[in-house]
Structure 1
Amino acid sequence: MRWFWIFAVGHLLLWTAVPFFTQANGPLDNVEMLNWGHEWQWGYPKHPPLPAWAAEAATYLPGGPVWSTYLLSQVCIVGCFWAAWRLGRETLSPSLALAAVAVLEGSIYYNCTTPEFNNNIMAKACWAMFILFAYYGIARGRMVDWGAAGIFLAAAILSKYDAALLLAATLLFSSLHPRARVCWRTPGPYVLTGVSLLLTAPHLWWLVNNNFATLRYIAARSSTSPSWLSHFEHPAEFLGAQLGAVAVTLILATILLGWRWRFKTVDSSAQFTRTYLAWMVLGPLGLALAYSLITGAHLRSMWGASMFTFLGVLLFAWLEARPDPALIRRTIYASAIVGGIFAAGLGLRNMIGDSLVTAPLRVDYPGQQLASQVEEIWSQHSNKPLENLGGDWWLAANINVYHPDRPSISAEQDHDLPAWTALDAWRTEGGIIVWETATAGDNYETQIKALYPNVEILRPLEFAWTKNQQRPPLRVGMAVVPPLAPIRTAELPTPAQH
């Protein structure tokens, strides 16, 4: 137990510190989660609400909102590690269970992608906890475990809808495996169902009332191709991406397994555990591939991010590991070194990467300076808190995150995006409109004046990039809408995004 927590806390501290010290600005997904969560809705245009709520709740920690999302991400990853370690202890020795967790340091799903807090990160932790407590429920029959599984299934659904794959794999296992099938004669599965339905009901109600916005977004992201070849290309691409994501984990596992993997024989109790692991790791992956094969749908590679928390446990439960304590220690040390290399690579990219690419990195954006300027300009026009932002979403989103008043955004007038601001809010409260002069149309200011007759167009401001100051500065147009200005019921144009 002690060594597991040393490893887990070390991972948490390292992967919280690297983005905190090397990223001058919050990544896109962290900024988006903070913007959504600030509005406390039961659903959002792209995803269910739980990750956004968690991001906003974390802002109550001292020290600013963005660093707390880095910490929150690693808390989720440590939750994955803990679930894998606990389930590993059901069939593996303590040191081998720790090695099964440590090899996850080789997967991009548990290292360099984790500082970007998003729905995948939260869903990953919820999947892991559900798999653990569903196992306890089936194996031990305790209602408290079934209730916990229901909570984490609801949390997984409220994080991302790919939880449907996890649920389908669990239903298949519990229906087809003779020992697991017995659970349907107990109250357990029905307790799980009742708890999860109760917790997800408000979001389902929101979904119906908002024209299934999240489902339409998913359909657009996984659009099918008319070509018959896509039925083979798309699942092959997805499988290849998943193998690439866990390749280093598989290499680390070979320290114990050797290059010639051999199945090991176990007693009936361990056989049940490892069969369950196979269903929970390979079942969702197989279902996703089958869906893509049948429909030709293109699956995003990160949709596999939640599937591999128990991969190390699965490998060591099914395959013969050399019982040498020195090799186990070597596996853990090598995994920690690999994690450190990934962390150093991310830090180096953050420090010098902006000078190597054409477009500026999001994490090099001058968001804090922009928010500070907006705060100063608004204080010159009103003694009330800034309530509303409009114009370019990315600019407005950064202001929302770094501005002390956390003003609401009505930047993009898309029917699939939320209307945080009531139609007459700008008339009564006023606000600030921001846009990048390089991407806005020539008549953008004219359109703003037509919409807000009393608007004051300010001289564009220039901001140097936080690291690569050789890059041409960011030029931001800005307009102040005074409170009580008359407003027409038209849509504010949105500058082109880049």
Structure 2
Amino acid sequence: MKKLTEKNAASYLAVIIFITFIIRCFIAAYTGLGNGESYYFRGALHLDLSYFDQPPLFFWLGAISIKIFGLTNFGIRFPSVLLFSGTSWLLFIVTRQLFNAKAGFWAAVIMNLSAVFTVAVACWYQPDAPLMFFWLVATYFIVELMVGPGAEHSEKTRNSRRTWLLWLAVGVSMGLATLSKYHVLFLFAGVFMFIATNKNQRHWLRHPGPYIAVLITIIMALPILWWNYNNNWVSFVFQGSRAGVGEKFHLHFDWFLRSIGGQAAYLLPWIWVPTIRQLFISYRMRKQLLAYSFIFWMSILPIVFFTVVTLWADLQYHFHWQAPGYMMLFIALGFAVDRSLNGGEKTKRLTRRWLNFSIIFTLLTISVLTLHMVTGFWTVYGPKWVVHYFHGDNLDPTIQGVDYTDIQTRFEKEGWLNDPHIFTGSTRWWLTGKLDWALKGKKDIVVFNADPRNLAFLVDPKKLIGKDAIIIGDKHQAYVDADVKPFFDSVKQVSDIPIIRNGVEYTLQVYYCTNFHVPAQPRMDLPVYKQLIGLPPFGK
């Protein structure tokens, strides 16, 4: 391989993007859908203006993809794989705008080496892939306006035709980002803070361009607003409640430390440390170089907000919510790597070792995890404590990334799949999602729980009255007794469904329930009950 230069950086990156695209296509096709993906998939079958916990764009993209490729793992995930290839290229060109092409190459490489980006964002059916892509599309146009070469004199060209077109492009790309995920609020806030804290950029506050861009974004977000208007603003209530304090305010430093540790693990600790270092460097250099000021304000808000709120809000294991901020810091880290590789021999040697280790670790880990997820080989040939250490009940957590095809086999054997008098469901939204994906959406589903999330909007339970149901449990006997039995004449446990990978690794309980009806006693705590008596599932 020839030495990386400004001239060949783009072509080298294009080769890497192509190779990783092919690899991710195989990962997308041959690994099972996780809990979140399985839960989301029915939204692609049930197109709507918006959805309970996410904006609609990735559902729409999933619907288009499965029309082309079929209702398969690859079909539902292909948009994520394709968009991440575009995200890698966009990160390169934005970094090239701010620094140079070699820095852009390394920024894109580092993003592809970090754990949360290289698989979770790049392969899985979630809203993060379109968010990252359109976030960077908007960033590209904003950089053209405010940070690129000559931006110090942007006031002189503020009324040019090109400037007006760029602001229109900002509005459209921000609108698409808004349709992707609510994280886009931090993009708006970051741009505002960048303008407000830089004197030579404050003239944009007097220019119609930013306000036109915001207006375009709001117009493009009308499907979200209209859907929420007709559904008690449930999306905003739900997302806002996740950062709330609950009934009593208590500081939880364990949650805070868990968040920091989780972010480090998701990025990989040896990538997270130098990335965070760039946050402090960007702050220190923000007054000397406009690019650093831009990177600082575009990265600091999502990272700090979603970390600080864990002091009082249990965000559980959503360590990827800070990802847009880290993506922006990869720009600065790419530039730092380029400078190190052109520095002294010791610095150059250490940087090469760090890069080589990161490449080898990521490739080896992805290969082992993918092979284990598909075959379960580690259960037989590897030390079991490795997969059981972080999970209770002696359960391998990677089993959650396996499609529960044994459910479909059982449904076909019993004749339940083609029986129009039978629907199905569970007492948890995530398990109902896994069940739904196993049956490829062929049965109506109901979540018998206070937290059905988006699934409450995709099936009308009133049309299921009088039918029987197959309810799947995961050691949920107490919840079946409390939340399922009141809706049926009888609930009988039948033989379990073993989930088989490398032998039986997981067992689900099965209940045959007869004659679905409105319970005799009111159950206003359950959305399914509210729907049965004609009320919306959420809200008063």
Normalising by structure 1, what TM-score?
Answer: 0.77
Equivalent in the alignment of 2:26 = 17
Equivalent in the alignment of 2:144 = 136
What is the correspondence of 1:139-288 to structure 2 with a 5 Å cutoff?
A: 139=147, 142-224=163-245, 229-230=251-252, 238-246=259-267, 247-249=269-271, 271-288=289-306
Structure 1 CA distance for aligned equivalents of residues 146 and 243 of structure 2: 34
Structure 1 CA distance for aligned equivalents of residues 131 and 172 of structure 2: 13
On the 8 A contact 1:51/1:159 being kept in 2, the answer is yes
Equivalent in the alignment of 1:125 = 133
Residue 433 of structure 1: which of 454, 470, 475 is its match? 470
Equivalent in the alignment of 1:421 = 459
Deviation of 1:476 after TM superposition, in Å, equals: 2.5
Residue 81 of structure 2: which of 44, 59, 74 is its match? 74
Deviation of 1:188 after TM superposition, in Å, equals: 2.2
What is the correspondence of 1:246-395 to structure 2 with a 5 Å cutoff?
A: 246=267, 247-249=269-271, 271-288=289-306, 296-298=312-314, 300-317=318-335, 320-323=339-342, 335-350=358-373, 351-352=376-377, 356-357=387-388, 358-359=394-395, 361=397, 362-363=399-400, 365=402, 367-375=404-412, 377-378=414-415, 382=419, 388-392=423-427, 393-394=429-430
Given the superposition, is the C-alpha separation of residues 194 and 347 from structure 1 closer, same or farther in structure 2, using an over 3 Å criterion?
A: same
On the 8 A contact 1:81/1:309 being kept in 2, the answer is no
- Paired residues in the alignment total 471
Given the superposition, is the C-alpha separation of residues 152 and 475 from structure 1 closer, same or farther in structure 2, using an over 3 Å criterion?
A: same
Given the superposition, is the C-alpha separation of residues 250 and 304 from structure 1 closer, same or farther in structure 2, using an over 3 Å criterion?
A: closer
Q: Deviation per CA, 1:365-423, whole angstroms, max 9, x where unpaired? A: 562232244356557965x7x89533455554345324466334223354764243334
Structure 1 CA distance for aligned equivalents of residues 81 and 62 of structure 2: 12
Q: Deviation per CA, 1:68-116, whole angstroms, max 9, x where unpaired? A: 3443333333233122101111143323321121122342221343444
Q: Which amino acid letter does the alignment assign opposite residue 78 of structure 2?
A: L
Given the superposition, is the C-alpha separation of residues 9 and 49 from structure 1 closer, same or farther in structure 2, using an over 3 Å criterion?
A: same
- SS at structure 2 position matched to 1:410: strand
Structure 1 CA distance for aligned equivalents of residues 469 and 77 of structure 2: 29
Structure 2 CA distance for aligned equivalents of residues 332 and 88 of structure 1: 19
Equivalent in the alignment of 1:463 = 497
Task: For structure 2, list consecutive stretches of 5 or more residues without a partner in the other structure.
Answer: 1-9, 152-161, 389-393, 529-540
Q: Which amino acid letter does the alignment assign opposite residue 17 of structure 1?
A: F
Given the superposition, is the C-alpha separation of residues 4 and 474 from structure 1 closer, same or farther in structure 2, using an over 3 Å criterion?
A: same
On the 8 A contact 1:106/1:252 being kept in 2, the answer is no
Structure 2 CA distance for aligned equivalents of residues 196 and 27 of structure 1: 32
On the 8 A contact 1:433/1:479 being kept in 2, the answer is yes
Q: Deviation per CA, 1:263-308, whole angstroms, max 9, x where unpaired? A: 9x99x9x932332122212343345556667xx4455432212211
Given the superposition, is the C-alpha separation of residues 238 and 128 from structure 1 closer, same or farther in structure 2, using an over 3 Å criterion?
A: farther
Given the superposition, is the C-alpha separation of residues 113 and 244 from structure 1 closer, same or farther in structure 2, using an over 3 Å criterion?
A: same
Structure 1 CA distance for aligned equivalents of residues 176 and 146 of structure 2: 20
Deviation of 1:340 after TM superposition, in Å, equals: 0.8
On the 8 A contact 2:495/2:509 being kept in 1, the answer is yes
Residue 27 of structure 1: which of 15, 21, 34 is its match? 34
Normalising by structure 2, what TM-score?
Answer: 0.72
Q: Deviation per CA, 1:95-140, whole angstroms, max 9, x where unpaired? A: 3321121122342221343444323444333333322222224357
Deviation of 1:196 after TM superposition, in Å, equals: 0.7
Structure 2 CA distance for aligned equivalents of residues 291 and 390 of structure 1: 34
Equivalent in the alignment of 1:484 = none
Q: Which amino acid letter does the alignment assign opposite residue 498 of structure 2?
A: A
On the 8 A contact 1:42/1:206 being kept in 2, the answer is yes
Structure 2 CA distance for aligned equivalents of residues 303 and 422 of structure 1: 32
On the 8 A contact 2:299/2:329 being kept in 1, the answer is yes
Equivalent in the alignment of 2:100 = 93
Structure 2 CA distance for aligned equivalents of residues 53 and 218 of structure 1: 21
Given the superposition, is the C-alpha separation of residues 316 and 379 from structure 1 closer, same or farther in structure 2, using an over 3 Å criterion?
A: closer
2:477 is aligned with 1:477: no
Greater RCO, CA 8 A, separation 6+: 1
On the 8 A contact 2:39/2:434 being kept in 1, the answer is no
Structure 1 CA distance for aligned equivalents of residues 497 and 224 of structure 2: 40
Structure 2 CA distance for aligned equivalents of residues 381 and 91 of structure 1: 58
User: Identical aligned pairs, as a percentage?
Assistant: 15
Given the superposition, is the C-alpha separation of residues 367 and 281 from structure 1 closer, same or farther in structure 2, using an over 3 Å criterion?
A: same
- SS at structure 2 position matched to 1:133: helix
Deviation of 1:465 after TM superposition, in Å, equals: 2.3
On the 8 A contact 1:423/1:489 being kept in 2, the answer is no
Given the superposition, is the C-alpha separation of residues 378 and 228 from structure 1 closer, same or farther in structure 2, using an over 3 Å criterion?
A: closer
Structure 1 CA distance for aligned equivalents of residues 363 and 100 of structure 2: 26
Q: Which amino acid letter does the alignment assign opposite residue 168 of structure 2?
A: G
Residue 7 of structure 1: which of 12, 16, 22 is its match? 16
Most deviating of 359-368 and 299-308: 359-368
On the 8 A contact 2:106/2:335 being kept in 1, the answer is no
Cα RMSD of the aligned pairs, angstroms, is 4.3
Q: Which amino acid letter does the alignment assign opposite residue 13 of structure 1?
A: I
On the 8 A contact 1:169/1:283 being kept in 2, the answer is yes
- SS at structure 1 position matched to 2:110: helix
Structure 2 CA distance for aligned equivalents of residues 367 and 290 of structure 1: 37
Deviation of 1:189 after TM superposition, in Å, equals: 1.0
Structure 1 CA distance for aligned equivalents of residues 11 and 27 of structure 2: 24
Structure 2 CA distance for aligned equivalents of residues 439 and 85 of structure 1: 48
Equivalent in the alignment of 1:401 = 437
Structure 1 CA distance for aligned equivalents of residues 493 and 251 of structure 2: 54
2:113 is aligned with 1:113: no
Deviation of 1:172 after TM superposition, in Å, equals: 1.1
